[in-house]
Every structure is written in C-alpha cells, then in structure tokens.
Structure 1
Amino acid sequence: MTHYDVVINGAGMAGAVLALGLAGLRRPDGGRLSVAVIEAVRPEHDRHPGFDARSIALAWHSQTLLQRLGIWPALAPLATPITHIQVSDQGHFGRVAMHAAEYGVPALGQVVELQPVGSELHRRLTACENITLFCPDRIIRFEQHPERVTIALEGGAAFSTSLLAAADGNRSLVGQQLGVPRRQLDYHQSAIIANIATAEPHLGRAFERFTPEGPLALLPMSEGRSSLVWCISPGRAERLMAMEDNAFLSTLQRQFGYRLGRLTRTGKRHCYPLVLDEAPKPWHHRVVLLGNAAHLLHPIAGQGFNLGLRDVATLTDRVSQALAEGRDIGSHGVLSDYGRARLPDQAGMVNFTTALALLFSNNNPVLAAGRNLGLSAMAACAPLKSQLAWRAMGKR
C-alpha cells in the first residue's frame, strides 16, 4: 500500500495552503514530505468569475503568513487592499476610523476572490512534484491504527498516512466519522451575501455598520465592486431575498447610507443561517481538524479564514519541528503540542466574535449606550484604537 506522510481532505484555501506549506518541508535526510490532497470538486480554470464572484477578507497578518509560505506573490495580483476601515453604529454617535498609514502598513487587509485564487492554488498543487492530487474524489472509508491511518477513496485508490488533516468544512466528513464532539450556538441570524456596485469608488475603504438586527459590512473588491455581508433576522432575510433588485438596493441604501454614493447594482444574493459551530478539541489519534472543520465563526469581524490560516501555520511549524527532532509527525505528542498552541487563540476568537455579535445585534438602550461609549472611547484613545486595529489585522 502506498504511504504518504500527510493526507489532507479538502483543497479549499486552508487545505491547499497547508499542502503547499508542508510540501516545502524537508526531513533531516534532505528529502521532502510526500503529501496527498483529496478534493471532491474540480475548480474551473481560465474563466473570469464575473460580477458575482465570492470573496473573503485576508487580515494583514494572514498576508504575512502567506508570504512566509511563499504563496502570497501569486495571490497578490488577485487581491484588493483595504486601506481604511470605518466602524459605526446606526442611529448613534459612536464611530471609529482606522487607516493603514497610522500603523505603518500598506494595507490593513486584502480582499481576494475565491474562484481565481482557487484556480491558482489548484495549479500549484498540480505542479508540485511531491503532492499527489486526487480530484475529483472523496473518502469512503478510513481506519485509525497505532502507527498509521488507512484510507479508501471512491475512485478506487487506497493508501496509508502518518497524519490525516481534515480541512473539509464545518460538516467535515472526517470529523463526523470520528464522532468529534461539537459545540453549537444559534445566533438567530442569517447572512445575505452579494456584490454591490456603487456610484462613488470605494478607494480601498471597508465599512462595518451595526444595526439593531445585526452588522452590515461592505468590503472593497476589484473593478470598483464592494462585497456585502448583511446579518439580520431570518424572517427579514427571507423578505429581502424575495425582493426585486431595485427594492433590495433601496432597503440597503437606507441602512447603509450614502458613504459610497448611490448603490447602483446588486449581484446574485446568497443567504445562509449563522451559527457558532466548533470542535473544542479538534484533534484525535493521527487526525487533526483545522479551518472551518474546527471552528465556524460569526462573520462579524471577518476572522473565520484568518483563524484557520493560523491553524495551518501552527501545524506546519509543529510538523517542521517534529521532523527536525526525528519525531513521528502524527504522534500524540506532536498533535497535543499543536492543540495546546492553538486552543487559546481559537477560544479567544470564538469568545470575541460571539460577544460582538450579541452586543451589536440588539437595540437594548443600555447596551446601545455602552457600545457607543466604547466606540467613542476607542476613537479618542489611540492605544484602545490601536488594539482594535491590530486585532482586525489578525495580530493576537
């Protein structure tokens, strides 16, 4: 049976970046790790994603991690920098504005479109000599043994590995088969996602506006578009999804205001329920869950993928350290070290985003007064605002 040092289930951004990072590591004898990646969906190549492209926000620290892994130069041409962030509360005076120049960085973050980035990462996976890509394919069975995990695929391939990494989303097939306990919290909100065209150029500005029903964010994208994430009650979301485009834009305009002039066009709208879904202990015998497979967050601070990327960077570091020390990279000791290193950050970000979602998604007058005093204090106090800014940039 063929043996791979690491097998990764899922070739989304987290899984692909992990594969490329691990493939660059060397054993003490100079050889490189053998990595297999399993992905059920083949990406579309050589096609511009168009107006409706889905996107994610990369924090500044995530960009530095991708730079360290040698991946950022290929992604930089596909990114739109966030140079300004404005945070405000609808109907109240609290407001905070952050500018990249204040913190000596060229951008507070970057917005990347998933389709072209996915195509580029897939191209790199295919071109890497020590990565074997099974796509399209899926796991139908895996078994844990003391010194390995054996895996069988739908396409007929069978192999073993020292470490199985699950980067297959919050409905992780691997996590489900293992029965990994999960903690869930229903926020009683839904998120509407769409791309918006505006009369005025965004000039790299991102906006997060808190409304009584939930946060509303517009992030700068390529070709003058902005990416909308609007968190509202499920009933309101259902009504908004049923509206014609012009009625939807008019409603959004009333909530967002005219910071970017008139909203002129909306792309296809998507809607999904918002829940916290995390695995408090995201590792098992020779198996580790990372990214959304380990923790699905509220999008209020845009930190979901950034948290997952820190999982990837830490696992890569722990595997590299184990190789240098001659240790088994899938051993209990290595994965326990990884877990201890990641749990404080994971728990802290879960608590932070949950607290923000609960604090800024209601119209309680006491909480409204408190949060506006907090925003005003941050605007007036440079150290407080700096803490918020660096947290938004992904630096713990």
Structure 2
Amino acid sequence: MTHYDVVINGGGMAGAVLALGLSQLKHSNGLALRIALIEKSRPEHNLHPGFDARSIAIAGHSQYLLQQLGLWPLFAELATPITDIQVSDRGHFGQVNLQATDYNLPALGYVIELNPIGQVLYQQLLQTPAIDLFCPTHIQSWQQAQDAVTITLSDSSEKQGAAGHRQFTTGLLVGADGNHSAISRQLNLPRRQFDYQQSAIIANVQTAQHHQHRAFERFTAQGPVALLPMSQGRSSLVWCVSNARAEQLMALNEDDFLSELQQAFGYRLGRFIRTGTRHCYPLVLDEVPKPWHHRVVLVGNAAHLLHPIAGQGFNLGLRDVAALIEQTRQTLSFARTNAPAPGSSNKPSLNDSACSEQALANIGGYQMLSRYGQARQGDQANLVGITSALALLFSNNDPLLAAGRNMGLNIMAACGALKHTLAWQAMGKR
C-alpha cells in the first residue's frame, strides 16, 4: 500500500499553502516528503467554496511568513497593498488612523482576491513533483492506528486527472477542510461554539473616489462595515448586521442596497456607484480548543472559525500552517541528528530514553503534535478572545458602551503606545 508522509484533506488556502510549504522539506536521504492533497472541488468557475468571490486581508506578518516559505511570489502580483487603515464609530467622533509610513513599511497588509489566487495555487500544486493531488474526490473513510492512518477515497477518485489508487496510509492526516470539516466531525473533539446572531454581507463595490490603498473599519449599532482596497479601484465590502437586517438588505435591488450602505458607511470614498454579486454568511464562533489527536491535526477554519471583525481568520490559519511546517522540519532534523552512522552496528538500548524519543520522533507522532499544540494554543485562545470581545462591544448601541468605545478610540488616537499596539495587532505581530 502506498504510504505518504502527510495527507492533507482540503485544498483551500490553508491546505494548499501547507502542501506547498511541506514539499520543500527533505528526509535525511535527500528525498522530498511524499504529500497527498485531497480536494473535492476544482477552483474553476467559482465552484470551490474556498476560492469564491470573496477577498481576504493578509497581515504584514503573514506576508513575511509567506516569504519565508518561498510562496510570496505566487501572491505578490495579485496583492493590493493596504497603506492606511481608518477605524471609526458611526455617530461619534472617535477615530484612529494608522499609516504604514509611521512604521517605515511599504504596507500594513495586503488584500488578495480568492478566486484568482485559487487558480494560481492549483496550478502550482499540479506542477510540484512531491505532491500528489487527488481532485475531485473526497475521503470515504479513514482509521487511526498506532503507526499510521489508513485512508480510503471515494470510487470517483482522480490523481492529477488520471485514475488514482483508492487506499493508502500516512503518518499524519491534516484536516484543512473548512468549518464543516469531515475530519473534525469524525474526531468528535470538544468544541466551543457561539452564535453572534449576525450575518456578513460580502460584495465587491465601486466608489466614486479611488480608495488610494486605504482600508476602513466603521462600527455601527448592528456591527462593523469594512471596506478593503482591491484592484481596479474597487473595494471589498464586509458588512455585519443582524440576521433579520441581512435578509432585508439581500432582498433589495442594487440602487436601494447602495443607498442603505451609503447611510451606514458615509462619504469617505464619495458615492457608492455599483456592487457586484452579494453573498451572505452566518457569523458564529466555532473552535476546537485542542485541535489535534493521534496522528491527526486540524488547521485553519477546521480548527477555528472567527468573527470577521478584525480580519484575522486567514492570518491565524496561516500561523497554524507555518507552525506545523516548522514542527515537521524539527522532527526531520531530530531524526537526522540521531540516526546511526552508515555501517554502524551500535544500537541504543531499548531502555535508553533517546531510543524512546527516536521512536516517537516521527511525522505525526506524539512528540511532534504535542509541540505543535503547545506552540499554537496561546495564540488561538488570545485571538478568539479578542475577536469575540470586539464583536460584542462594537455591535451594540447601548449608550454607555457607545460612549466608552468612542472614548477608547479617542484615547488610542492620542496615545502613541496604544495606537502602536493596535497597528501591530492589525499586522499580525505577536
């Protein structure tokens, strides 16, 4: 039976970046890792849910991580820089402005349109020899054992367009299959969930004035309105409102919708001229506090689905991916360092602790996933707490809360240290 070092279920942003990052690692014999990526939808004609018409914000630190992985050139031509961020509260004077020039940076972050980058990543996966791409197909069943996970694909499985083998084993199965993760469901790990009773309306909009690479986050009584700069002078809209309000807004014609948006956002970019197709998504917190199990780990939205108020969902998932690649690299390095010399007959005693560590120091083993968990739990808990608090605080029209957050924005604008903290948070620095 064919064996892969790592099998990744899900070829969206997190899964594709993970596969491409891992493909650069090598065993002690110089051979690249064997990686399989399983994906049920090709990113063509907006059919792939992970590469639809939405855009994502890539924080400055995330851009650095992509550079370290050697993948930023794939993103760079599709990236629109964010040079300024304005945070304001509708109906109040509180406002904070952040500029990249204050930190001697070319940008605070970047905006990537998901559909074009999906095409680029898909082609790169096809061209990478270390990666076997099974698409379109899905996992029919999988079973954990002490030393491996056995995976069976559906009958319709294809490997890079040709018939592929249906069953294989792996040392590590990664669930990168989104917030409805099939891997997560079978693991049945404890989850923490919270319904914000809100929905996000997503659309690409055109304004009379060019955005000039400015991003806006405007808080309203029902939730934040965010505009992110895109190519061709367009902006990506994320408008969070109550579920009932979202239903009303989605039912409006284009002119009436733009009129309501104008009232909520104001005239910072002049009049709203047109909007593309609108999409509506319910907003919930859904996280697995301990997203790993024996030879299985969850990353990205499969591990934590956040409120979009801080625009940090993909950035948190990318830090998962980078940490998993680093722990894999360390595991390979440990095995290489502790391997017996060629031709040596010296073998450590079975009671030797080094031997025990060596036995566990394999990809997907207990030692590796424990280190990964320790590296990621604090960051995940911190960002979940921040986004949840912001969502509740800035989606409320209580006069005392409104006055408090307005005062907070004014204080932050006047206090350099607090303003810098907000800037570093926006750039994904920890």
Shorter chain as denominator, the TM-score bin is over 0.9
Residue 279 of structure 1: aligned partner = 288
Residue 257 of structure 2: aligned partner = 248
Pairwise CA distance, 1:53: 3.2
Residue 293 of structure 1: aligned partner = 302
Residue 63 of structure 1: aligned partner = 63
1:170·1:293 contact (CA, 8 Å) conserved in 2? yes
Q: Give the unaligned 5+ runs of structure 2.
A: 47-51, 158-164, 336-360
Residue 49 of structure 1: aligned partner = none
Instruction: Please give the alpha-carbon distance, in whole angstroms, between the structure 2 residues aligned to 1:89 and 1:241.
Output: 24
Pairwise CA distance, 1:181: 1.9
1:306-358: CA deviation from partner (whole Å, max 9, x where unpaired) = 00000000000000001000121111111011011100000000000000001
Residue 35 of structure 2: aligned partner = 35
Alignment size in residue pairs: 392
Pairwise CA distance, 1:244: 0.5
Residue 333 of structure 1: aligned partner = 367
1:181·1:280 contact (CA, 8 Å) conserved in 2? yes
Find out whether 1:166 has 2:206 as its counterpart.
no
Pairwise CA distance, 1:45: 7.9
The structure 2 residue matched to 1:364, chosen from 380, 388, 398, is 398
Matched letter for residue 279 of structure 2: H
Residue 382 of structure 2: aligned partner = 348
Instruction: Please give the alpha-carbon distance, in whole angstroms, between the structure 1 residues aligned to 2:216 and 2:375.
Output: 32
Matched letter for residue 286 of structure 2: D
1:45·1:119 contact (CA, 8 Å) conserved in 2? no
Find out whether 1:389 has 2:423 as its counterpart.
yes
Instruction: Please give the alpha-carbon distance, in whole angstroms, between the structure 2 residues aligned to 1:216 and 1:267.
Output: 17
Instruction: Please give the alpha-carbon distance, in whole angstroms, between the structure 2 residues aligned to 1:45 and 1:138.
Output: 20
Instruction: Please give the alpha-carbon distance, in whole angstroms, between the structure 1 residues aligned to 2:130 and 2:323.
Output: 21
Pairwise CA distance, 1:369: 1.3
Matched letter for residue 364 of structure 1: D
Q: Which has the larger radius of gyration?
A: 2
Residue 200 of structure 1: aligned partner = 209
1:245·1:266 contact (CA, 8 Å) conserved in 2? yes
1:197-219: CA deviation from partner (whole Å, max 9, x where unpaired) = 00000000000000010000000
The structure 2 residue matched to 1:227, chosen from 206, 224, 236, is 236
Instruction: Please give the alpha-carbon distance, in whole angstroms, between the structure 2 residues aligned to 1:79 and 1:260.
Output: 21
Find out whether 1:150 has 2:150 as its counterpart.
yes
Residue 100 of structure 2: aligned partner = 100
The structure 1 residue matched to 2:222, chosen from 213, 238, 241, is 213
Pairwise CA distance, 1:39: 0.4
Residue 338 of structure 2: aligned partner = none
Instruction: Please give the alpha-carbon distance, in whole angstroms, between the structure 1 residues aligned to 2:237 and 2:115.
Output: 17
Pairwise CA distance, 1:74: 1.8
1:196·1:264 contact (CA, 8 Å) conserved in 2? yes
Identity %: 64
Pairwise CA distance, 1:179: 1.1
Instruction: Please give the alpha-carbon distance, in whole angstroms, between the structure 2 residues aligned to 1:180 and 1:123.
Output: 34
Matched letter for residue 37 of structure 1: L
Instruction: Please give the alpha-carbon distance, in whole angstroms, between the structure 2 residues aligned to 1:345 and 1:39.
Output: 28
Structure 1 segments of 4 or more deviating over 2 A? none
1:49-98: CA deviation from partner (whole Å, max 9, x where unpaired) = xxx93211111111111111111112101111000000000001110000
Instruction: Please give the alpha-carbon distance, in whole angstroms, between the structure 1 residues aligned to 2:45 and 2:238.
Output: 26
Find out whether 1:131 has 2:136 as its counterpart.
no
Scaled by the length of structure 1, the TM-score of the pair is 0.97
1:141-163: CA deviation from partner (whole Å, max 9, x where unpaired) = 00000000000001261100000
Instruction: Please give the alpha-carbon distance, in whole angstroms, between the structure 1 residues aligned to 2:409 and 2:246.
Output: 27
